[in-house]
């Protein structure tokens, strides 16, 4: 229901502005101050990002392509895309994350990366409030924070923003039993503010189909503590 979704979202937002920000900005960095588990998650996540970059490269590259990165986190995907010449609109429900992604982009320029002709934008916004049209919409490792009910609406909205393709990653329910323990590692312990949801591949695909998209490519990244299904979906018959 809407109310439940709203509460969940507020909890997720608050988490990613506080402890979640501390935890994830460290995981998504090169800092040595991470546990073995966090390092494993970092490596798995880097594989997902690399796969998305490779997918986009193999379909003609991103130069001049408009890309929305919804729930951009610290900019792991948005920054390399921007530096490769995509017109990137990055956003995150967490102000702290959106600010961090902007700082990291600026740090890349300061380190000597060539500024792209179209500067990326980094804004604090929940993905449900995004308005606009992009060639490609990406949303990586965000759906894990929401139940299927909410996810259906999120996919519907993301699809409405995408002219050509949607790239999503989520924690697959097919690995439920083996993964349950690991999800506990990820979100358990001291933090009771958020929980992790696994999604059935068929449910995600059905939501995409309903929104007018066909899944054209599937991938799975699984390390010891990170597992993420990657879907590339294209608008049926183009638009
Ligand atoms: N997509 C990034 C990546 O793969 O590097 C970050 C993944 S991180 C596990 C999840 C991110 O989703 C957090 O930065 C969080 O603030 C953001 N998020 C959660 N719910 C969101 C929502 N409804 N709209 C936009 N961002 C959201």
Q: Could you tell which of 73, 88, 105 is best to mutate to test the pocket of ligand 1, judged by most ligand atoms within 8 Å of the CB?
A: 73
Could you give the strand order of the β-sheet that contains 121-124, starting from the edge strand earlier in sequence?
A: 121-124, 87-92, 66-70, 134-140, 162-170, 227-235, 213-222
Whether this model's pTM surpasses 0.90: yes
CATH of 2-235, one of 3.40.50.150, 3.40.50.280, 1.10.20.10, 3.40.50.720: 3.40.50.150
CA of residue 24 to ligand 1 center, whole Å:
10
- Tell me how far apart the alpha carbons of residues 231 and 140 are, in angstroms, rounded to a whole number: 10
End-to-end CA distance of the chain: 31
The domain segmentation of the chain, as residue ranges, is 2-235
Q: Which of 8, 18, 49, 92 to mutate to test the pocket of ligand 1 (most atoms within 8 A of CB)?
A: 92
Nearest to 201 by CA among 171, 227, 159, 235: 171
Instruction: Encode the chain (239 residues) as per-residue pLDDT tens digits.
Output: 444 566 889 999 999 999 999 999 999 999 999 999 999 999 999 999 999 999 999 989 999 999 999 999 999 999 999 999 999 999 999 999 999 999 999 999 999 999 999 999 999 999 999 999 999 999 999 999 999 999 999 999 999 999 999 999 999 987 555 556 566 666 655 555 567 889 999 999 999 999 999 999 999 999 988 999 999 999 998 65
Distance in angstroms (rounded) separating the CA atoms of residues 162 and 169: 16
* Whether 213 contacts 157, CB under 8 Å: no
Q: Which residues neighbour 139 within 8 Å (Cβ) at sequence distance 6 or greater?
A: 69, 70, 71, 127, 154, 158, 166, 167, 168, 169
Ligand 1 pocket: which of 38, 53, 71, 139 to mutate (most atoms <8 Å of CB)?
A: 71
Longest pairwise C-alpha distance within the chain: 48
Q: What is the ipTM of this complex?
A: 0.99
Within 6 Å (CB) of ligand 1, which residues are found?
9, 12, 16, 24, 28, 70-73, 76-77, 92-94, 97, 126-128, 140-142, 145
């Amino acid at each position: 229901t809407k109310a439940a979704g709203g509460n969940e979202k507020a909890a997720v937002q608050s988490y990613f502005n506080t402890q979640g920000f501390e935890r994830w900005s460290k995981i998504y960095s090169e800092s040595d101050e991470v546990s073995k588990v966090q390092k494993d998650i970092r490596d798995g996540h880097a594989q997902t990002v690399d796969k998305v970059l490779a997918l986009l490269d193999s379909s003609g590259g991103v130069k001049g392509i408009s890309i929305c990165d919804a729930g951009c986190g610290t900019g792991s995907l948005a920054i390399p895309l921007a530096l490769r010449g995509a017109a990137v609109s990055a956003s995150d429900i967490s102000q702290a994350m959106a600010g961090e992604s902007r700082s990291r982009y600026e740090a890349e320029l300061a380190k000597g990366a060539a500024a792209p002709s179209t500067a990326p934008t980094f804004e604090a916004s929940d993905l449900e409030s995004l308005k606009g049209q992009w060639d490609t919409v990406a949303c990586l490792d965000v759906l894990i924070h929401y139940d299927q009910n909410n996810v259906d609406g999120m996919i519907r909205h993301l699809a409405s923003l995408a002219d050509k393709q949607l790239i999503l990653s989520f924690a697959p329910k097919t690995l439920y039993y083996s993964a349950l323990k690991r999800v506990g590692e990820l979100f358990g312990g001291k933090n009771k503010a958020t929980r992790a949801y696994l999604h059935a591949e068929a449910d995600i695909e059905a939501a995409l189909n309903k929104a007018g998209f066909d899944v054209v490519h599937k991938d799975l990244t699984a390390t010891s503590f990170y597992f993420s299904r990657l879907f590339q979906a294209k608008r049926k018959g183009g638009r």
